Structure 1
Amino acid sequence: MKKSIFIIALVSIHFLCPSQNVTIKGIAKTYEYKEIGVWISNDYISNTQKQLTYSNIDSVGNFLLEFNSKEIQYITLKIDKHISSLYVEPNATYEVMVMPPDSTTYQNPNLEHDVKLSIKLKSKTEINSLTMDYDKRFDDFLTVDYKAFVSRVPQPKIDSFKTAMHGYYSTVKNNYFNAYIIYTIAALEEKTKASEKKLFASYLSGKPILYDNPEYMNFFNAFFKQKLNNFSLSKLGSPLIFQIDDRGSYIGAMEVLKRDVFLQNDTLRELVLLKGLYESYYDGTFKRTSVVPVIQQIVSESKIEEHIRIAQNILNSFSKLKAGSVAPFFELPDKAGLTHSLDEVRAKKYVYVIFYDATCTSCLEQMKVIPSLKKTYGERIQFVSISTDKTNAELKNFSLKNPKYDWLFLYDNTNGQLKNNYEIRSLPAYFLINPDGKFIQVPAESPDGDIDRVFYDLTKPKGQIHGVGDKKNH
C-alpha cells in the first residue's frame, strides 16, 4: 500500500501504557480550524469506511487524535477532501505533519486528493519504516527489471526478488509486515498473468483469510474479480443463475460454487459469493431483486462473524442515504440538555434537518431564510438544526445571539458518528425526512434554493401534488 510519507528522523521507540491507546500528535498548516478525522476500512469487499475519532485543528495548525487499536491498522486521515494514510500500532504515539495540497494535482475540489504526510519515525522496525523501506526496494526492482516485464518473462525475476526480500527481512518478527511482502508480490504475479493454479496454491489454498489486511484483500479481489459472472457462463456453473435469479437461494448458490476447483473451502467460497453478489448488483450479472435476499440470508445464516459484518455493510451501501431508505436514527440534546429523537420530531410532521456549525458563513446565511419558511410551512414541517460545534456551550451562545430563531436546535454529541451516518463531508448539509422516518430528498434543497417548492408540494391538498422537487409552476 503505497503512501505519500516522508521520514523526518529515527529515534528510540516509545510505548504507552497497556491501554492499547494510539495517539497522533500533528501539525497541519493551511488547514487551521478544520476538522480532521481518523478513518479505517469497514471491509475490503464493500469498501465502506468508518470513522474512529475526529478533532479540530487549532488556530496554529496543531491537532491531537486518540483512539484504541488492538492490532496494526492502516488508517486514513481526512481533512475535507484531503487524505493521507499511515499504519498505526497499539500503544504507540506518532508525530506527523500534514502537508498543504499540491496545486498541480488538486484540480477538482469535489474529489478526494492525496496529500503528503511526514512522520517522525521512532525505529527502523516500526511498521511505517519497514513498509517504506520495502516499497523503495520494490520500486527499484520494477525499475531495474522493467525489460523482463515488457518481454513477458518476469517470473524468474519475481522469484529471485521474493527470495531476496524474505532473506533480507528474515529477522523481522512482524506478521503484518510479512503478509505485506507476500501479498504485494502476489498482486504483482497476478498482474503478470501467472498461472491461476500456481497463484491459488501459493497464496490462498490453506492460508488464513486476512480480512483487515489491505494487501491480502487487494490480491483476493483481483484473483476473484468477476468470478461469479465467469463461472455462471460455464457449463459447470450455469445452474448458478437459476439458484440466484429464480430461487434466491444462498444454500443453492453455495452448492453450485462448490463445483469450482478453487472453492472447496466453505469459508473462502462464502466470501467469494459475497464479493460476486456485490459486483453483480452493479454489473447486472444477476437480478438486483434477487441479489439482496441472498445477501440477507448470509446475514442470518452465516456462521462467520466477518462475513455477517461484510454482508451487512453491503446491504447498508445499497440502501443508505437514498430517497425511500430509512434515515439514520438520532437522539440528541437541545441547549437545555433535554433530549429529542428523530422518532419524536417526525411523529406528525415532515422533518427538514440542517447540519451546521457557528463558524460556517454559508450556514449562517442560509439560516436567515428559515424563519420565513417556518412561518409558511411550520404546521406541517418540523425544522431541526443540528450543531456540529465542539461543545454544547457554543449552541447556547448561538441561541442567545439569535433569539428569533425559534425552531428546534440540537447538539451533535456523537463524536462524529452522526456525521458519518449521514455521510456529511461539508457544511451546511440538508435532509428531508417523512413522518415514516424515510428520506424524501438526499441531500435536500437548501433554504434559498428550491425547498420552498418541495414544501409546497408536500403540504398542499392531496390530488394536487405533481411530485416532490419537480420544478413546475403552481
Structure 2
Amino acid sequence: MCIACHSAQNITIKGKAHLSYKGRVIQLFSLSDNITNVEQKESQDTIGQDGFFAFSLYSDHTQPVILKIGNITSRLYVQPDFVYGITIPEIDEDADRRNDAELFINIGIVGADSTELNALIFDYQALYNKFFIPKDNRFLSRNVLFKRADSLKKVCDLKYKSVNNPYFKSYYEYSIASVNASLSRGENYLINTYILGKPIQYTHYEYMQFFSTCFSGYLNSVASAKKGQSLYNIINSKASYGLLDAFLKDDKYLKNDSLRELVVLSNLWDFYFSADFSPEAIEMIVSDINQRTNISMHKKIASTMLACFNKMQPGSAAPDFQARSKDGTIGTLNSFKNKWIYLNFFSTKNIETLKEMPKIASLKKKFGDKLVFVSVCLDDSLSSYQSFIKNNPKLDWNIWYNYDKAILKTAKENYFITGTEGYFLINNFGYLAQSPASAPSKGIEFKLNSIFKMSNKTTKPGIR
C-alpha cells in the first residue's frame, strides 16, 4: 500500500508484525545527516495483540528509515507524501540470538507495484546478487569483479531505462560505485566518474556513503604530498579553519568550495575519534565552519557534530540555565520540570529566526496544554529585546533574554550555540529528545503530532 498525500509533507507507516512481537516496543529512526549518521528517534509504538502498529514522520526528501524491535532491525525507504503498508516477518530460526548483536530482517511491502522505490531496490538487490554471489561460491578475481561491476551498470541502465525515480537511479549508480571503491579501482577514476561535475546529493544515503568512503583519510593524503606547514600543526596547534581551507585550495579535486568544505567536515568527524588529533581543536574548527558556512546542509552537519562533541545528543540530560524573563526576573529551565519543552534561540537581527516566531505561536495554540515553549533572545542589546517584546504582545509564551549580570553561564553557552539560531526538544524527564530539533518550518509539528498522538485533520489522501 503506497498512497500519496498531496498536502503537507507527511509520511505514514502502517504495519503488521508477526504475532511473536506482540506487546513489544517498535521504534522508528532517521539519520540526522549522512556524514555523522547519527540516529534520531522519530516515533515509537507498542505492537498490538493483533500485530498492528503505526508511525508518522515528516520529511521533505526521500530517505531510508530504520525500524527497531530490540536488536531486530529493518530498513524502509520513504518518500514525502506517501502512506506505506509493511509487514515484519518472524525471525529466522537459524539467527544468532545469543547476544545483543543487530539482527537485520527484510520487511514486506503491502500492495507496492514494480515502480515503487522499495520494490525497485529489492529487484536491484536480486540482480546484484546474481552478479557478485556465484551459486557455486567460487572465488572471483579483482579483474573479474571490475568487469562484472561495469556489466551490472550497463544491464541496469537498460533494464531501468523507463523508471522515473531519480533516487533509485542514483541508488544503483552509487551502489555500483561503492563496489568499485571497495575494489580500490583508483582515486582518479572514482572521483572523476562519480563526484566531479555532479551536484552533491546531501540527502541521498548511498551517494553519501560512497562520498565518505571515497574521501576517507583524504586530508592525510593531501598532507603527505605537501611540503611546509603540516596538517597536524594547522589542526592541533592553530585550530584554524581558514588555514585548513587555504591548505587544501590548490588540490586538483577540491577546487569547488562546497565540495572542499564537505570533505573537511567528513574528515574532521573521523579525526575527532583519532588519537592523533586534539578533540578540542577539532571542535573549534567545526564551530568556525558552523558560523561561516552559507550552505544549510553543512550547517546542519556541523551542528550535529557539535552536539555529539558536547554530549548534547538525544538521550543526554538537558542542561539547565537561567535567563532574564520579560518582567526582568530570572527564569530557570528547571522550573518546567516534568513537562515537555520546545526550546529555541533567536535574534531580532536574524530574519530567518524571526520568521519562525509566528509558527511557534501556531504550535503553542495547538500544543500549549502539552508542552512549554521557551525562546531565548541572543541580541547583544537588552533594549532591542525589550522593543521586540513590546512590539509583539501576541507572542505570549516564555521569551527570555540570554544575558544578565546575575547570570554566570548563559543559555547560549550551556547549549553550545554558535551563531544566533538553535532548536531543542526536551522530554518530560529532562532529557534531550531531539538535539538539534527541527525548526517549526522544518517539520517539528509532525514530531509533536507523533509524540502526543495528534491527528492531522487537513491531510487529504489520494491514490498515487
Q: Same fold (TM over 0.5)?
A: yes
Q: Which amino acid aligns with 1:116?
A: N
Q: Which amino acid aligns with 2:110?
A: K
What is the alpha-carbon distance in structure 2 between the residues aligned to residue 329 and residue 232 of structure 1?
Answer: 42
Q: Paired residue for 1:68, among 52, 58, 72?
A: 58
TM-score (norm: length of structure 2) = 0.66
Structure 1 residue runs of 5 or longer lacking an equivalent are 1-10, 331-339, 347-352, 354-390, 393-411, 423-474
The aligned counterpart of 1:303 is: 294
Decide whether aligned partners of structure 1 residues 101 and 317 sit closer, same or farther in structure 2, where only a CA change above 3 A counts.
farther
What is the alpha-carbon distance in structure 1 between the residues aligned to residue 179 and residue 228 of structure 2?
Answer: 28
The aligned counterpart of 2:22 is: 32
What is the alpha-carbon distance in structure 2 between the residues aligned to residue 205 and residue 129 of structure 1?
Answer: 30
Identical-pair percentage? 30
- The number of aligned residues is 341
Verify the 8 A CA contact 2:131 2:152 in the aligned structure 1. Answer: yes
Q: Paired residue for 1:100, among 90, 111, 116?
A: 90
**Is the partner of 1:25 in helix, strand or coil?**
strand
**Is the partner of 2:4 in helix, strand or coil?**
coil
Verify the 8 A CA contact 2:426 2:433 in the aligned structure 1. Answer: no
Q: Paired residue for 1:187, among 150, 171, 178?
A: 178
Q: Which amino acid aligns with 2:143?
A: R
The runs of at least 4 consecutive aligned structure 1 residues that moved more than 6 Å come to 145-148
What does 1:16-31 align with in structure 2 at a 5 Å threshold? 16-28=5-17, 29-31=19-21
Deviation for aligned residue 1:415: 10
Deviations 1:383-438, CA, capped at 9 Å, x for gaps = xxxxxxxx99xxxxxxxxxxxxxxxxxxx99599957459xxxxxxxxxxxxxxxx
The aligned counterpart of 1:245 is: 236
**Structure 1 residue 287 and structure 2 residue 249: aligned?**
no
The aligned counterpart of 2:167 is: 176
Verify the 8 A CA contact 1:236 1:259 in the aligned structure 2. Answer: no
Query: RMSD over aligned Cα, in angstroms?
Result: 3.4
Q: Which amino acid aligns with 1:27?
A: K
The aligned counterpart of 2:343 is: none
Q: Paired residue for 1:134, among 105, 117, 124?
A: 124
Q: Paired residue for 1:220, among 193, 211, 214?
A: 211
**Is the partner of 2:20 in helix, strand or coil?**
coil
The aligned counterpart of 1:313 is: 304
**Is the partner of 1:30 in helix, strand or coil?**
helix
Decide whether aligned partners of structure 1 residues 71 and 290 sit closer, same or farther in structure 2, where only a CA change above 3 A counts.
closer
The aligned counterpart of 2:246 is: 255
Decide whether aligned partners of structure 1 residues 103 and 161 sit closer, same or farther in structure 2, where only a CA change above 3 A counts.
closer
Structure with more contact order per residue of length (Cα contacts < 8 Å, sep ≥ 6): 2
Q: Which amino acid aligns with 1:74?
A: P
Q: Which amino acid aligns with 2:9?
A: Q
Verify the 8 A CA contact 1:148 1:157 in the aligned structure 2. Answer: no
The aligned counterpart of 1:395 is: none
Higher Cα Rg, which structure: 1
The aligned counterpart of 1:275 is: 266
Q: Which amino acid aligns with 2:231?
A: L
Deviation for aligned residue 1:321: 6.3
Deviation for aligned residue 1:276: 1.2
Deviations 1:138-157, CA, capped at 9 Å, x for gaps = 11111359879415353333
What is the alpha-carbon distance in structure 2 between the residues aligned to residue 230 and residue 302 of structure 1?
Answer: 24
Verify the 8 A CA contact 2:5 2:83 in the aligned structure 1. Answer: yes
Decide whether aligned partners of structure 1 residues 419 and 112 sit closer, same or farther in structure 2, where only a CA change above 3 A counts.
farther
**Is the partner of 1:152 in helix, strand or coil?**
helix
**Structure 1 residue 114 and structure 2 residue 104: aligned?**
yes
Deviation for aligned residue 1:342: 5.0
Verify the 8 A CA contact 2:318 2:430 in the aligned structure 1. Answer: no
Deviation for aligned residue 1:344: 2.7
What is the alpha-carbon distance in structure 2 between the residues aligned to residue 20 and residue 32 of structure 1?
Answer: 30
The aligned counterpart of 1:437 is: none
Deviation for aligned residue 1:345: 7.6
The aligned counterpart of 1:458 is: none
Verify the 8 A CA contact 2:61 2:203 in the aligned structure 1. Answer: no
Decide whether aligned partners of structure 1 residues 327 and 413 sit closer, same or farther in structure 2, where only a CA change above 3 A counts.
closer
What is the alpha-carbon distance in structure 2 between the residues aligned to residue 26 and residue 329 of structure 1?
Answer: 39
Deviation for aligned residue 1:301: 0.9
Verify the 8 A CA contact 1:121 1:128 in the aligned structure 2. Answer: no
Verify the 8 A CA contact 1:231 1:237 in the aligned structure 2. Answer: no
What is the alpha-carbon distance in structure 1 between the residues aligned to residue 427 and residue 318 of structure 2?
Answer: 16
Verify the 8 A CA contact 2:132 2:148 in the aligned structure 1. Answer: no
